[in-house]
Amino acid sequence: MIFIVVKFRTKPEWTDRWLELVRPFTEATRAEPGNRWFDWSRSVDDPNEFVLVEAFDDDAAEAHVTSEHFAAAMQTMPQALVSTPLIISQTVDQDGWGQMGELTVD
């Protein structure tokens, strides 16, 4: 599985509109074969920072980055950003989320 985390820093005037701006990209990506998840979160420390956590089957990531909706998003998103997004992208030997071993809830 390819596990990806991306940090996006938005311009203040775009922060409240960011999730709407990326909605078509989000919906299209979630519908892709091989997409495991594509989830946005907002930083509790910086209201202008959004974090995207996504995962793909190993053979699905290339189709994602060559898709029409990916290309469209790469053209649309820069207008709302302060800087180039930061990314961590790793292949991990897992099929999905596992339970946390250090904390158990009964």
Closest CA to 50 of 27, 97, 82: 82
How far is Cα 15 from Cα 96, in angstroms, rounded to an integer?
30
In a domain, residue 98? The reply is no
CA dihedral 60, 62, 63, 65 (to 10 degrees): 120
In a domain, residue 104? The reply is no
How far is Cα 82 from Cα 85, in angstroms, rounded to an integer?
9
pLDDT one-digit tens code per residue, 3-12: 999 999 999 9
**Cβ(87)–Cβ(4) below 8 Å:** yes
In a domain, residue 102? The reply is no
Number of domains in the chain: 1
The residue segments making up the domain with residue 42 are 2-91
Share of the chain above pLDDT 70, in %: 100
Which domain CATH number covers 23? 3.30.70.100
In a domain, residue 96? The reply is no
- The pTM of the full predicted model, rounded to 2 decimals, is 0.93
